[in-house]
């Protein structure tokens, strides 16, 4: 599937056309459920479940630092229970999804680009096609769907741990009572705080996995090519997260 | 029949195929010879739609490959086995799963697949290796698994991309015998890409030489062996280009 020639003339145009064609081909491959469905669970485990430890590690320390920072900022100016507000809002709306997304852009994006890149330069992708498989249905769709489904789940766990870490830090290091922290947490709470972060996380998952697949399948030039494409997958994945973060802030807030 | 008609293919400014025309008749083995980088592998990738020509057309049994839609291409690929130069086995799968992957696509049930896998591995002399991984096998064994993966599908055509490159002479001879046995037992039509002339003479019914993007000469093994064409002679006898070598030596201040 190709886009109009005018879009492919300039370098940025060519890039957009390449991404556009790739997305269209991946979308077309969604129909080939017989190929991608049996592979989905395995990808959810590899890309999602195996990413939980790194996401929780980041969330734990983010929660602790955020509580300490809040106390430092609010002391003498704002009621101390706003520590709960800041920890909750910052982690649910921004830091949970974005930091988890960044960590997974490194782990998942690099993993996908390196794996598919190696398959590409060793002709395994060509071999797959000669066996009458659609490379998009076999390699791309299960990874992108797994990323889209699992990033919100990993993010939800990270948010829960981050807020809990902030709560425990407030109790034991900041002399806040449990009631004060919970009051702060509840005072401006909206259900949107939860779903906004999860929608963002799903879009980050789709972008990171899609870019990882795109870079992996575009690999050429042996080991050096795999290294170059892996780096690009991580860099573009992180950039995509920041752009999408701004996009959702404009559209949904 | 596989037919190449005026096939033109360039990568950037490098023209690889320059209006190449060749017919590969049904039955028998056509060997494609040529210097390294002359475009032999590029040519056979057109047959399974891994590459599309910039101009001209490649057809298999009357179907123009690059005009097929996805379903047509899938159906075409189910008739063609492809043996890759470096085997291209899926390294995360066992040998058995490598063979089963293509069979599963064709809707065979588990017992049929099991039987076909065992039969194909037996044919290439690797019975009992189903549970091993590609990394545990030697280069020659991996090549044979590549052949087994292709023949497991019972294709009408098999394309061998440099099947003996990088192998010792004895293992090369084993692969040559295997290609002959596959043709005799399964009756497949084959294209073999190689620059190993011993292999070409052993497995080929016809030999075609690719030179500067076109077919320089095509003929039976005997016709090629007796050719008067200086380029083909130089290639099959493995003689260096003496004029070129003399110039290069002179440029560096020496004499030949």
Q: List the single residue in A122, A123, A133 with the smallest CB-CB distance to B105.
A: A133
Residue B242's pLDDT band (cuts 50, 70, 90): low
In the predicted model, is pLDDT for residue B105 greater than 50? yes
Provide the shortest C-alpha distance from residue A116 to chain B (in Å): 11
DSSP assignment of B235-254, as one string? HHHT---HHHHHHHHHHTT-
Q: Which of A46, A130, A137 to mutate to test the interface with B (most CBs of B within 10 A)?
A: A130
Q: Let me know: does B4 contact B218? Beta carbons within 8 Å.
A: no
pLDDT in tens, A184-220: 999 888 899 999 999 999 999 999 999 999 999 999 9
pLDDT at position A244: 97
Rounded to two decimals, what is the model's pTM? 0.87
A124 touches chain B (CB under 8 A): yes
A245 burial type by CB count under 10 A (0-12 exposed, 13-18 middle, 19+ buried): middle
Q: List the single residue in B50, B86, B153 with the smallest CB-CB distance to A122.
A: B86
Residue B256's pLDDT band (cuts 50, 70, 90): low
pLDDT in tens, B141-157: 999 999 999 999 999 99
pLDDT at position B185: 86
Closest chain A residue to B73 measured between Cα atoms? A132
C-alpha triplet B150, B80, B223: angle, nearest 5° = 95
- The tokens for A103 are 């960590």
In the predicted model, is pLDDT for residue B245 greater than 80? no
Cβ <8 Å between A124 and B70 = no
Q: Pairing between strand B206-211 and B29-33?
A: parallel
pLDDT at position A69: 92
In the predicted model, is pLDDT for residue A86 greater than 70? yes
Phi-psi region of B81 (alpha: psi -120 to 50; beta: other; left: phi over 0): beta
Q: Measured between alpha carbons, how far is residue A217 from residues A1, A106, A125, A134, A176 in Å?
A: 16, 18, 8, 13, 52
A34 touches chain B (CB under 8 A): no
- Please state the rounded mean pLDDT for residues A44-71: 95
C-alpha–C-alpha distance, residues A71 and A52, integer Å: 29
Residue B246's pLDDT band (cuts 50, 70, 90): low
A42 touches chain B (CB under 8 A): no
C-alpha–C-alpha distance, residues B13 and B230, integer Å: 28
Closest chain A residue to B48 measured between Cα atoms? A130
C-alpha–C-alpha distance, residues B189 and B187, integer Å: 7
A28 chain-B contacts, CB cut-off 8 A? 70
pLDDT in tens, B114-131: 999 999 999 888 999 999
Phi-psi region of B206 (alpha: psi -120 to 50; beta: other; left: phi over 0): beta
pLDDT in tens, A134-144: 999 999 999 99
B181 burial type by CB count under 10 A (0-12 exposed, 13-18 middle, 19+ buried): middle
A136: Cβ contacts below 8 Å, ≥ 6 apart: A25, A26, A28, A29
A29 chain-B contacts, CB cut-off 8 A? none
A126 chain-B contacts, CB cut-off 8 A? 45, 50, 82, 84, 88
B102 chain-A contacts, CB cut-off 8 A? 131-132
- Stated as kind and residue range, the H or E segment containing A26 is helix A11-29
What is the average pLDDT value for chain B, to the nearest integer?
90
Residue indicated by tokens 């698994």: B145
C-alpha–C-alpha distance, residues A246 and A194, integer Å: 17
Residue B219's pLDDT band (cuts 50, 70, 90): very high
pLDDT at position A126: 95
**Closest by alpha carbon to A203, among A105, A59, A92?**
A105
Q: Let me know: does A117 contact A229? Beta carbons within 8 Å.
A: yes
More confident residue, B224 or B243: B224
Q: Let me know: does A74 contact A174? Beta carbons within 8 Å.
A: no
Cβ <8 Å between B88 and A129 = no
Sheet holding B63-64, edge to edge: B14-24, B2-11, B55-60, B63-64
Lowest mean pLDDT among A175-179, A198-202, B100-104, B171-175: B171-175
Q: Where are the alpha helices (DSSP H) in A33-190?
A: 33-43, 52-74, 82-89, 96-104, 110-121, 124-130, 135, 141-173, 178-187
- Stated as kind and residue range, the H or E segment containing B190 is strand B189-193
A77 burial type by CB count under 10 A (0-12 exposed, 13-18 middle, 19+ buried): exposed
Q: List the single residue in A122, A123, A132 with the smallest CB-CB distance to B105.
A: A132
- The tokens for B154 are 């019972």
pLDDT at position B106: 85
In the predicted model, is pLDDT for residue A9 greater than 80? no
Q: HSE, CB side, 13 Å, CA atoms: give it for residue B104.
A: 12
Closest chain B residue to A29 measured between Cα atoms? B70
Q: HSE, CB side, 13 Å, CA atoms: give it for residue B23.
A: 6
Q: List the single residue in B50, B90, B91 with the smallest CB-CB distance to A129.
A: B50
Cβ <8 Å between A132 and B77 = yes
Residue A6's pLDDT band (cuts 50, 70, 90): very low
The C-alpha torsion from B229 through B230 and B235 to B241, rounded to 10°, is -170
What is the average pLDDT value for chain A, to the nearest integer?
92
A2 touches chain B (CB under 8 A): no
């Amino acid at each position: 599937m190709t886009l109009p020639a005018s879009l492919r003339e300039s370098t940025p145009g060519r890039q957009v056309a390449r991404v556009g064609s790739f997305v269209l081909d991946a979308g077309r491959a969604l129909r080939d459920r017989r190929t991608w469905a049996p592979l989905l669970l395995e990808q959810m485990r590899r890309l999602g479940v195996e990413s939980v430890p790194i996401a929780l590690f980041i969330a734990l320390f983010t929660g602790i630092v955020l509580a300490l920072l809040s106390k430092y900022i609010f002391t003498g100016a704002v009621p101390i229970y706003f520590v709960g507000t800041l920890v909750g809002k910052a982690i649910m709306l921004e830091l949970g999804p974005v930091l988890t997304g960044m960590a997974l852009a490194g782990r998942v994006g690099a993993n996908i680009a390196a794996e598919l890149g190696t398959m590409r330069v060793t002709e395994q992708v060509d071999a797959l096609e000669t066996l009458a498989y659609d490379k998009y249905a076999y390699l791309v769709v299960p990874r992108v769907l797994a990323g889209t489904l699992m990033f919100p789940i990993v993010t939800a766990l990270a948010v829960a741990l981050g807020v809990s870490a902030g709560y425990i830090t407030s109790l034991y290091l900041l002399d806040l009572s449990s009631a004060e922290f919970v009051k702060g947490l509840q005072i401006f709470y909206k259900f949107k705080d939860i779903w906004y972060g999860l929608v963002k996380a799903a879009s980050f998952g789709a972008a990171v996995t899609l870019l990882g697949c795109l870079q992996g399948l575009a690999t050429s030039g042996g080991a050096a090519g795999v290294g170059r494409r892996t780096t690009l997958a991580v860099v573009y994945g992180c950039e995509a997260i920041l752009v999408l973060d701004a996009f959702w802030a404009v559209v949904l807030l | 029949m596989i037919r190449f008609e005026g096939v033109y293919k360039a990568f950037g400014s490098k023209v690889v195929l320059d209006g190449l025309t060749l017919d590969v008749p049904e039955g028998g083995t056509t060997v494609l010879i040529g210097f390294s980088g002359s475009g032999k592998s590029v040519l056979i990738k057109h047959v399974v739609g891994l590459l599309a020509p910039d101009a001209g057309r490649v057809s298999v049994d009357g179907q123009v490959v690059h005009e097929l839609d996805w379903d047509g291409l899938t159906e075409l690929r189910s008739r063609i086995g492809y043996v890759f130069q470096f085997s291209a086995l899926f390294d995360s799968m066992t040998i058995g799963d490598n063979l089963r992957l293509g069979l599963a696509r064709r809707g065979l049930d588990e017992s049929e697949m099991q039987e076909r896998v065992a039969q194909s591995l037996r044919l290439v002399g690797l019975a009992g290796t189903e549970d091993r991984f590609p990394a545990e096998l030697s280069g020659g064994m991996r090549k044979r698994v590549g052949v087994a993966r292709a023949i497991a599908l019972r294709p009408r055509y098999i394309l061998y991309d440099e099947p003996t490159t990088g192998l010792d002479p004895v293992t090369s001879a084993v692969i040559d015998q295997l290609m002959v046995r596959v043709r005799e037992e399964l009756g497949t039509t084959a294209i073999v890409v190689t620059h190993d002339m011993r292999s070409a003479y052993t497995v080929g019914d016809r030999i075609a030489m690719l030179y500067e993007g076109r077919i320089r000469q095509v003929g039976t093994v005997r016709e090629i062996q007796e050719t008067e064409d200086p380029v083909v002679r130089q290639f099959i006898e493995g003689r260096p280009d003496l004029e070129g070598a003399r110039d290069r030596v002179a440029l560096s201040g020496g004499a030949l």
